[in-house]
């Protein structure tokens, strides 16, 4: 080992050499995970859309108001992926893949590929023009893998990926910005009944997750889709529901989630050495919404960043007319679609340490300590 490190030290900086040593000895950098690779949509994006032409951007105030500055995250501070990374012991957030600084030794600790508007199927989010769908995110990870191999060699890269955490948070846009878009919903339903559309999503998701496994991933956390019908957006566009959640969106999501759970069990059984954790975000978030006062919230149905609509769900949070609630910790929702940092903290904690109702077959801390 000493000779290997001496040989490689001439072409690697001290951080790279240290990470190589950790990988070779099986010592992981944070709570049992060597790195964190994050895929998904705006719920976990860290700024990739800052670098593409798209109508879906969050790199302007008041987004990031409690982060210190706008970063491209669609919330007032941290995403759930950021918080899970912190609780797992990572000192830095996984950087966005498209950032010019996401090069060199930094990628050995993980990368964020998520993109606002992205979905499981490639046509999802077309109304935003630009977005990075899940297939393209996996392509980007394949590029990262080759960069890792060039830095530390194939055997060490294999070990790093096998002990890394792969987080995939996607699917919400396939409903909100595809199947449930008001102007196309009725036409789409006649072509693809809900069960056909959901089967299409699951079939595509199976191929995508299998591809990530074939690229070296072994430890996965895959959150299901949350109660979309309870977002300020769905409440406002379905005003007839009054103070209730929109039932149709939630019914569709629950049907998808049931099939997703079966898919992850199937993949864990089929793909040797893999673990696919089913993160029941729907269950956790529905509990928070229903019992919001017990969690310290004062509002569970309106956006903190408020532009228009009864619940602030008609116009996305952005510069200009948007008003921001004075205490973001009291709101479940940051904007029309996304949780606040306070909500994300609750979700992350329960995925780290929760019971089988929250995450199965084990929680993240148990996975890290295996």
Q: What does the chain come to in residues?
A: 370
What is the reported pTM?
A: 0.92
Quote the CA–CA distance of 81 and 87 in Å, as a whole number. Answer: 10
What mean pLDDT do residues 62-66 have?
96
Confidence (pLDDT) at 20: 52
Confidence (pLDDT) at 200: 96
Buried b (16+ CB within 10 A) or exposed e, 163-191: bbbbbbbbbbbbbbbbbbeeeeeeebeee
- Dump strand ranges (E) for the chain: 36-40, 110-112, 165-169, 219-223, 275-279, 299-303, 305-306, 323-324, 331-333, 359-360
- Whether 253 and 282 have beta carbons less than 8 Å apart is answered as yes
- Which band of pLDDT confidence, cut at 50, 70 and 90, is reported for residue 188? low
Query: Does the N-terminal peptide bond of residue 85 adopt cis geometry, omega within 30 degrees of 0?
Result: no
Quote the CA–CA distance of 106 and 113 in Å, as a whole number. Answer: 14
Q: Which residues are catalytic?
A: 42, 335, 338
Q: Which residue has the higher pLDDT, 21 or 49?
A: 49
Tens of pLDDT, residues 199-222: 999 999 999 999 999 999 999 999
* Local structure of 20: helix, strand or coil: helix
| pLDDT(30) > 90 | no
Confidence (pLDDT) at 321: 72
- Whether 96 and 72 have beta carbons less than 8 Å apart is answered as yes
- Whether 38 and 44 have beta carbons less than 8 Å apart is answered as yes
Quote the CA–CA distance of 244 and 232 in Å, as a whole number. Answer: 11
CATH code for the domain defined by 2-368: 3.40.50.1110
Percent of the chain with pLDDT over 70: 89
Domain ranges of the chain: 2-368
Quote the CA–CA distance of 95 and 82 in Å, as a whole number. Answer: 10
Tens of pLDDT, residues 314-355: 888 887 777 999 999 999 999 999 999 999 999 999 999 999
Lowest mean pLDDT among 15-19, 104-108, 277-281, 297-301: 15-19
3-state percent breakdown (helix, strand, coil) of the chain, nearest 5: 50, 10, 40
């Amino acid at each position: 080992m000493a000779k290997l490190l001496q040989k490689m030290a001439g072409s690697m900086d001290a951080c790279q050499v240290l990470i190589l040593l950790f990988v070779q000895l099986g010592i992981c950098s944070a709570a049992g995970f060597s790195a964190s690779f994050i895929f998904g949509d705006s719920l976990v994006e860290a700024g990739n859309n800052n670098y593409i032409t798209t109508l879906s951007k969050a790199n302007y105030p008041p987004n990031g108001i409690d982060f210190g500055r706008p970063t491209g995250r669609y919330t007032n501070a941290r995403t759930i992926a950021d918080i899970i990374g912190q609780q797992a012991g990572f000192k830095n957030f996984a950087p966005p893949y498209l950032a010019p600084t996401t090069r060199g030794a930094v990628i050995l600790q993980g990368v964020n590929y998520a993109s606002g508007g992205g979905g499981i199927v490639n046509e999802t989010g077309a109304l935003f023009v630009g977005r990075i769908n899940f297939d393209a995110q996996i392509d980007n990870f394949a590029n990262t893998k080759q960069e890792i191999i060039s830095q530390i060699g194939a055997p060490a890269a294999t070990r790093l990926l096998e002990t890394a955490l792969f987080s995939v948070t996607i699917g919400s846009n396939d409903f909100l910005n595809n199947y449930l878009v008001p102007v196309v919903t009725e036409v789409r339903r006649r072509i693809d009944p809900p069960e056909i559309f959901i089967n299409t999503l699951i079939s595509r998701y199976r191929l995508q997750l299998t591809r990530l496994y074939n690229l070296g991933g072994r430890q996965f956390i895959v959150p299901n889709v949350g109660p979309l019908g309870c977002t300020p957006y769905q409440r406002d566009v379905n005003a007839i529901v009054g103070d209730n959640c929109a039932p149709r969106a939630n019914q569709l999501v629950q049907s998808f989630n049931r099939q997703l759970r079966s898919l992850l069990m199937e993949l864990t059984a089929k793909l040797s050495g893999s673990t696919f954790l089913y993160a029941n975000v729907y269950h956790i978030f529905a509990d928070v919404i229903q019992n919001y006062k017990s969690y310290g919230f004062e509002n569970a149905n309106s956006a903190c960043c408020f532009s228009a609509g009864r619940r602030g769900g008609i116009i996305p949070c952005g510069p200009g007319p948007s008003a921001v609630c004075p205490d973001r910790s009291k709101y479940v929702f940051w904007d029309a679609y996304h949780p606040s940092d306070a909500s994300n903290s609750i979700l992350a904690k329960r995925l780290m340490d929760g019971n089988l109702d929250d995450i199965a077959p084990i929680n993240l801390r148990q996975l890290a300590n295996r």
